[in-house]
Structure 1
């Protein structure tokens, strides 16, 4: 390979579809779209070595986190310790299968598939083994799984659960808890070092591209692959480099996003009406809704935690639904507001969406930890799955929305205004 870590003749920005010629990039450099400023590629200093070190350290921390007690709980003279594995096993034993599956995917399955895939990729790059098919599958898994990594959200859920339990029990953070914190930090660092265009560049080399690089890909009769960044002729149906289906604009993007938003609105009603958990204390069982939990934390003086739950579980889902709904409206009836501001709103809603899972994780943690018969026990309520569906639907809605449609409308408005000025002149 050349002394440059990344070099590609042309790529189309996935946010605005603008064509960019990427100059040869060396370690520590990044390239932004010259039209919208979106970061197209980042080449990190000694990225392969750093990914290997952080990834292997992350796996070691996870092994330590699963080997020792995670949290301790004592109330009325009764003590209980749980491990990370207990967080899932208790839910499965009580036949909360969907909630157990969500926790399993969030804590173990997705992170492990991601880590093993990226470690295999970097190892194959370093040893230059001809494993092209396996490499391509691994990159696809990395790209699909990355938005669903929620271990950092789970950590915040643990802290919220601890605050809730402090009013009626003594909580101790065991050895595995600190190893788990190290696991989360190392996983986030590994994810930050990975760039999808850099991965495809190492697997398939630079993408062949036409010589033109003015305007948008659609205007030039080209298509930019949303998956690997390659640019090709507009009549292609699959990418020449990665084999993924390509399209100038995501098919039925607004309709799909709208349908997912409507589904999330429907699920949001039972998520807030029905109890999200049931607490049994000395034989008496009391249900608790999402807002009931917020008010309880506020009454206990845990104002910051109450605000976190309020924003994550109540405000953020509503704002995300309204924001994406407004952006879909703008695709049909655009206003003259700056498109760059609309894109920032879209990127913000896409980023904060997964943080609404905090309340689901809190219920799972409390259910696994607080199981002492009629003395005190906590069980998931009917709203847990409804609220999980709200979070998943809104995340999928953000993924299916095509921000390039906003730039298309902006261009149409500009052309119409220019034509009107010429006629008026």
Structure 2
């Protein structure tokens, strides 16, 4: 089998046949169920994605310029843009939280959209953009931290919460953010490995377009009969590590396992059979998050002052407020996103790190699903941070009503960031190393 027709699952390391370009279903690994790298996108797909990225950039501009929501309290109107929320956090003594909100809702989405346009527009014109590798790497790193859809949920929670204070008016930016969230969700379906394959096809036709020559992945030996995506392989099958091969974590190219410190022959990224010190880093970050989770729930996330009377509001206090107000559905949403999800993330991260360190062999497919679950829901815990930012930007009616952020907001934001980093540091291939050999996980962690 030709090396270009071979891929390795990024979660379990199983060697597979590359799926064909024309395929109705999303290809998945037959052993662990993870989505695997697809073929290069066709011209029509590039056209659609390029148009979508341009429309999303225009929608982003509208969302940043106009107010998201406004309050009308006895004729006194207060409105808030996203920039107002960031400034309110900064001026109220929470610069770290202000930077976190700015990066996740303003800077990173803008950089992601600009990078997509930089990559897709030339590829659509059958050209390879310069600095292709670092720009695509930036997209991969920015993707988890762009949280427009979480912000949208935070806006809805804030609007419901403010109905007891004043008349709530939806602003133009609310609808712009809704459209932007949907467009970014579609753009996130683009597989970076597929763009690398499209780049290689263009470089094969026009070598002068490449920043550097694309070395051949020759010299690797793989069997002609490999499982296809979407089939069934159970827990058996040849892995890249067992075959003396390694798959680049960024571009997914399968190549001979190098000596320590060698870089990928296609994108230049450092190659590692497994992430160095994955278990130790995951455990350390999860432990730090667990310590901060206590003050995040005990300390107030904001303080409300009305007619000289001050009242602290914790995360659990917000859940109780919605429940007693009759907004049971919203109380459940806030409880799940802000209380249950962080607890589950910490428990799952502790389970994964312990199991990988001990080389556990039980239920690898279920543990792989738990890892994907943590990566999927981790970002949604930022909900309370966004609610705090929008609330303090809206409620500033002097002595009548004023809201300021509390220390719990910083602690909770740190918990979200640390758990996301811990999940990113964990190498899911260690799950299958333990399932295939009791000492493999210890050797690679």
TM-score normalised over the length of structure 1: 0.90
Is 1:17 the counterpart of 2:13? The answer is yes
Asked whether the equivalents of residues 339 and 410 of structure 1 are also in contact (C-alpha less than 8 Å), the reply is yes
| 2:301–2:409 Cα contact (<8 Å) kept | yes
Tell me the equivalent position of 2:110: 112
C-alpha distance in 1, partners of 2:272/2:67? 50
1:402 is paired with a residue whose SS is coil
Query: 2:152, 2:174 within 8 Å by CA — same for their partners in 1?
Result: no
Which of 150, 159, 170 is matched with 1:173 structurally? Answer: 170
Aligned-pair distance for 1:62?
Answer: 1.8
2:244 to 214, 221, 227: 221
Could you tell me which residue of structure 1 aligns to residue 31 of structure 2? 35
Residue deviations 1:12-31, cap 9 Å, x none? 21111111221542365643
Q: What's the CA shift for 1:233?
A: 1.5
SS of match in other structure, 2:437: helix
1:34 and 1:297 mapped to 2: Cα distance?
A: 44
- Name which of 374, 384, 397 aligns with 1:359: 384
Match in the other structure for 1:73: 71
Which residue of structure 2 lines up, in the alignment, with residue 421 of structure 1?
Answer: none
Aligned equivalents of 2:298, 2:67: Cα separation in 1: 36
> Structure 2: which 5+ runs fail to align?
202-213, 227-237, 441-445
Q: Which of residues 318, 323, 340 is equivalent to 2:343?
A: 318
Q: SS state of the match for residue 164, structure 2?
A: coil
Could you list the runs of 4 or more consecutive aligned residues of structure 1 that deviate by over 6 angstroms after TM superposition?
Answer: none
Give how far 1:126 is off: 2.3
Is the Cα contact below 8 Å between 1:30 and 1:41 reproduced in 2? no
Alpha-carbon spacing, 1:170–1:247, altered in 2? closer, same or farther (3 Å):
same
The Cα shift of 1:334 comes to 4.9
What count of residue pairs does the alignment treat as equivalent?
407
Matched-pair contact (CA < 8 Å) for 1:22–1:31: no
1:359, CA displacement in angstroms? 0.5
Say what the alpha-carbon RMSD is for the aligned residues.
2.1
Return closer, same or farther for 1:27/1:49 CA change in 2, 3 Å cut-off: farther
Which of the numbers 92, 95, 100 marks the counterpart of 2:98? 100
Q: Displacement of 1:39 after TM fit?
A: 1.9
Q: Supply the distance in 2 between the matched residues of 1:130 and 1:307 (Cα, whole angstroms).
A: 48
Does structure 2 conserve the Cα–Cα contact (< 8 Å) formed by 1:321 and 1:394? yes
Secondary structure at the aligned position of 2:37 is classed as strand
Counterparts in 2 of 1:175-324, with a 5 A limit? 175-192=172-189, 194-205=190-201, 208-209=217-218, 210-213=220-223, 215-236=238-259, 237-324=262-349
State the SS of the aligned residue for 2:27: strand
TM-score between both structures, scaled by the size of structure 2: 0.87
Q: Deviations over 1:128-173 (max 9, x none)?
A: 44544x2112101110001111110110011111111111211110
Moved more, 228-237 or 298-307: 228-237
Question: Could you tell me how far 1:37 is from its partner in structure 2?
Answer: 3.2
| Deviation of 1:84 (Å) | 3.0
Secondary structure at 1:16 match in 2: coil
Secondary structure in 2 aligned to 1:41?
coil
Q: Whole-Å Cα distance in 1 between the matches of residues 299 and 357 of structure 2?
A: 36
* In structure 2, distance between residues paired with 1:311 and 1:275: 19
Aligned match of 1:55 = 53
CA gap 1:24/1:182 in 2 versus in 1, 3 angstroms: closer
Distance 1:178 1:400 in 2: 35
Looking at structure 1, the residues matched to 304 and 133 of structure 2 have their Cα atoms a distance apart, in angstroms, of: 48
Secondary structure of 2:286's aligned partner:
helix
Q: Hey, which of these two has a bigger chunk of strand by percent?
A: 1
Worse-matched range after superposition: 152-161 or 196-205? 196-205
Cα displacement (A) at 1:42: 3.8
- Which residue pairs with 1:147 in the alignment? 144
Instruction: After superposing the two structures, state which structure 1 stretch, 149-158 or 84-93, moved more.
Output: 84-93
In 1, Cα distance between equivalents of 2:335 and 2:402: 24
Query: Residue 389 and residue 121 in structure 1: after superposition, are their counterparts in 2 closer, same or farther (change >3 A)?
Result: same
CA contact (8 A) 1:41 1:195 kept: yes
Q: Contact 2:88/2:389 (CA < 8 Å) preserved in 1?
A: no
In structure 2, the residue corresponding to 1:80 is in which secondary structure? Answer: strand
